[in-house]
Structure 1
């Protein structure tokens, strides 16, 4: 998972120069190319190391999934530091990634995974699902350090459970997250 950041104004200028040079080398002039953006102030910073989290989910048997359809959630935290409530009083999080077509809202396994017939979901500590590309409820911030606590779980695909065709093996899923301070 990674935190998407807003790029500062000088990065956009560098990109514009690169594109202009690229267009000029092909013999074309671009006088209608412009970039717009906003330089924003974030209410919090992410603790170093939390911008790329690896969560080890425990081993789970297909038998458990055939009986229960999913595992219990495994908790993880995103640590926010140096929060300034004069900039933002709340934060929301949105997870993105490749959606499992058989389990809408859950992450699909990455290519190269040995397992199949499962997806990975994200939920709040109170077991409220947080589907992909859906904005979470607002969490109130306090000045200083805060954390966003969530859980990840494994769920069997309906057809794989019905037909008992979940394949064993190692798997990975990838997701990005975006924090917004509304």
Structure 2
């Protein structure tokens, strides 16, 4: 009998986006966007309809994918290179890593896409944190697989336990 997946709820906090400029893929690791609040995958396949004397006939359309992203703005390098990627029409790679689905040492299930950010919106409101909003147009279809998520990348998300004694040899964060 085939094994079935258990009905386990999925939490948005477990999905982390990491990015890299496509041109840097041979030299750099992907980097997490700090202070992510929301991201949404959107898949669309709008079919065309042709009316005939016998009734409408629909023709299939190629599916498109977009990724809408919101995060609290910060002065980190990822915010800077993503903004510059919009201005320079730079191709990006993105991974949506599911930290709740560990598949081995440092490996997690993930969706991977390549594409371009189509906007960079930074609304600033009195008394609130400044947020970025952007949408990424994904080339072709995102691919599912396993992504490496290192201990260093994990540390960017959550600080580690510290003892009550003085901490030495560590730069302040």
Structure 1-normalised TM-score? Answer: 0.27
Q: Which has the higher strand share?
A: 2
